[in-house]
Structure 1
Amino acid sequence: MEILSVLAAALAAWLFGAAWYMALSRPWLDAAGLERDEHGRPKDNAGPLPYILSAIAMVLVAGMMRHIIEQAQIDTVLKGIMVGGGIGLFMISPWIMINNAYVGRPFRLTLIDGGYAVFGSAIIGSILVLL
């Protein structure tokens, strides 16, 4: 049953990411410095690989978060949101910031990507506690 909760949490965070980046596609493309084609999509699109890799990554994140939540005996949705959001805000987002800073990317890219990490992790945390 644990694998189903991990997969459900990963899917929810992945779908949230799709909505997040669709809503913020223009600012994200600008901040990332990516060229666009005539349809406004990234030029030289990498095909389905980024989507596949991000889905795998979400399963890995949700799996580790499940372990953390279980070991810490997190038992309410609010606590799940706080733990997940805290992981996103205080562990994942700073790492994103470091990576972006070293390559000279604008801080707004960190805000967009870090925002997804915070909200996506909070979603994972809440679903893992619910299921």
Structure 2
Amino acid sequence: MGIIAVVVAAFAGFAMGAAWYMTLSKQWIAAVGIATDAKGRPANGGSVTPFIISGIAMLMVAGMMRHILVMAGIEGAGKSALVGLGIGLFMITPWVAMNYAYADRKKELTILDGGYSVLGPTVIGLVLGFF
């Protein structure tokens, strides 16, 4: 049951990212500074590599979050989602912000990616809490 929970939670986190970035695609593209074609799509798009890396990353995050939740004896969707929120808000987003500060990235990119860094683990925790 654990592997199924991890896969479902990873898929949910990935889907949350898809919804987040599809909704905010124009803002994200502008913040990153990616060249676009006439339709506003990334000019050099089409590579599946980012999607493969994202899928693997989601499996890793969901697997570690499940491990943390089991080891801590945390059960239930609400508590698990709260753990995910905390991980995103107090671990992942500060790390993203620190890296972006050194890379001199726009603060808008930090906010956009930081938002997903909070929502993604929250959704993963929520789903894991149902199993």
2:101, 2:71 → 1: CA distance?
Answer: 34
Do residues 27 (structure 1) and 27 (structure 2) align?
A: yes
- Give the % identical residues: 49
Deviation at 1:4, TM superposition (A): 0.4
Instruction: Tell me the TM-score normalized by structure 2.
Output: 0.96
Q: For structure 1, list consecutive stretches of 5 or more residues without a partner in the other structure.
A: none
Alignment of 1:55-74 (within 5 A): 55-74=55-74
Amino acid at match of 1:42: P
Deviation at 1:85, TM superposition (A): 0.7
Deviation at 1:76, TM superposition (A): 2.0
Stretches of 4+ moved more than 4 A in 1? none
Question: Number of residue pairs matched?
Answer: 131
Q: Which residue of 2 aligns with 1:105?
A: 105
1:43, 1:120 → 2: CA distance?
Answer: 27
Q: Is the 8 A contact 2:78 2:129 kept in 1?
A: no
Deviation at 1:99, TM superposition (A): 1.4
Q: For structure 2, list consecutive stretches of 5 or more residues without a partner in the other structure.
A: none
Instruction: Tell me the TM-score normalized by structure 1.
Output: 0.96
Q: Which residue of 2 aligns with 1:18?
A: 18
The Cα RMSD (Å) is 0.9
1:34 alignment partner, SS class: coil
Deviation at 1:34, TM superposition (A): 1.1
Of the structure 1 ranges 33-42 and 3-12, higher mean CA displacement relative to structure 2 is found in: 33-42
